[in-house]
Amino acid sequence: LYTAPDSCEGRCQEPYSPEDECHCNAECERHRNCCEDYYRHCRDEGFSSSRDAITDEELLQVSEQLYKADHNKARPTDIAINPQYQASPDETGDREDRSPQPLYKYVNEELFSKPTYASFIKLLDNYQRATGREEDVTAEELREQDNFLREVMKTELMKKLFTFLHKKNRYGSEQEFVADLKEMWFGLYSRGDGEQDSSGFEHVFSGEVKKGKVSGFHNWIRFYLLEKQGAVNYFSHNFEGPWDTYPDVLGLQFSWDGFYKEVGSAFIGSSPEFEFGLYTLCFIARPGRACHLSLGGYSLSIQTYTWTKSTYGNGKKYIATAYVIS
């Protein structure tokens, strides 16, 4: 019987074979290499229905725990933003600057001396933003990656995330978790013609330029620092979250050295470990699907995508992107 190579129809619990494009056995969730329709065809007999499943209810609970544990987030007095013009859905593609003032009126830069912020900011200049240009990773940059991971793992937030994933049998030890974080976020792959030119971290947090448009770039700290230098020009916003404190969420239009971003969503005022932890949770629990969370009693969804063209370890997938659905 012929079965489509990218489908689980008729393939549930089939033994792992490295020749397969994607997988349908009980381990595929752990390795994040399931076929896209795995949940439709195999869920009841698969890994996800066992006690190691991460249920929708558990995602709501653990996201609230992480929200409460974000002790390094900005206080209401640390940031003042000026969102100005709210664009309608049919205006986001206009490339028109409808907000004469910068988005950030004030940021208390003392935040940036906190260890997770300082180690995060050091990573931002490690990348060439144009896709198709090979990344040259130096020993110093590798040290900066390790330092960032070390600092975030000291936080209560990331410890809570590890405890949750450990209970769910995704990782046997913190060491295994950190090694996997390094691969899934910092491992290089090719968005161009075979050059190792991209990674999940670069795409999501630092931003890239592909085919004349801004790609990724979902981080408020990066935005603030570039806006302050005059490299980013804020145009408008199309969504402002219901939070009256930080982290808040904004959907926004902007240009970066003339390259346009039609809708860039970002948490505002969250710590680096908060975004890093939430995106990791969703990538592990709901790769390639909308991941429904709860923050301070309000619902919020994160979309992640897996990189499908190359893998690491035992067929594990890299992060292609992760962002708040605004």
Which residues are catalytically annotated? 203, 218, 261
DSSP code of 148? Answer: H
Q: What residue type is assigned to position 304 of the chain?
A: T
3-class DSSP state for residue 132? coil
CA distance 208 to 131: 7
Q: Which two tokens stand for residue 149?
A: 């991971």
Nearest to 315 by CA among 49, 104, 78, 29: 29
Sign of the alpha-carbon torsion through 202, 226, 112, 298: negative
| 80, 308 Cβ separation under 8 angstroms | no
Instruction: Write the CA distances from 261 to 37, 70, 93, 96, 300, integer angstroms.
Output: 31, 28, 9, 11, 22
CA distance 29 to 16: 12
Question: Phi-psi category of 84—alpha, beta or left, where left has phi over 0 and alpha has psi -120 to 50?
Answer: left
The alpha carbons of the chain give a radius of gyration, in whole angstroms, of 20
- CB pairs under 8 A, 24+ apart, for 160-169? 160/62, 160/65, 160/66, 160/69, 161/62, 161/66, 161/277, 161/280, 161/281, 164/58, 164/62, 164/65, 164/281, 165/281, 165/284, 168/52, 168/53, 168/54, 169/30, 169/52
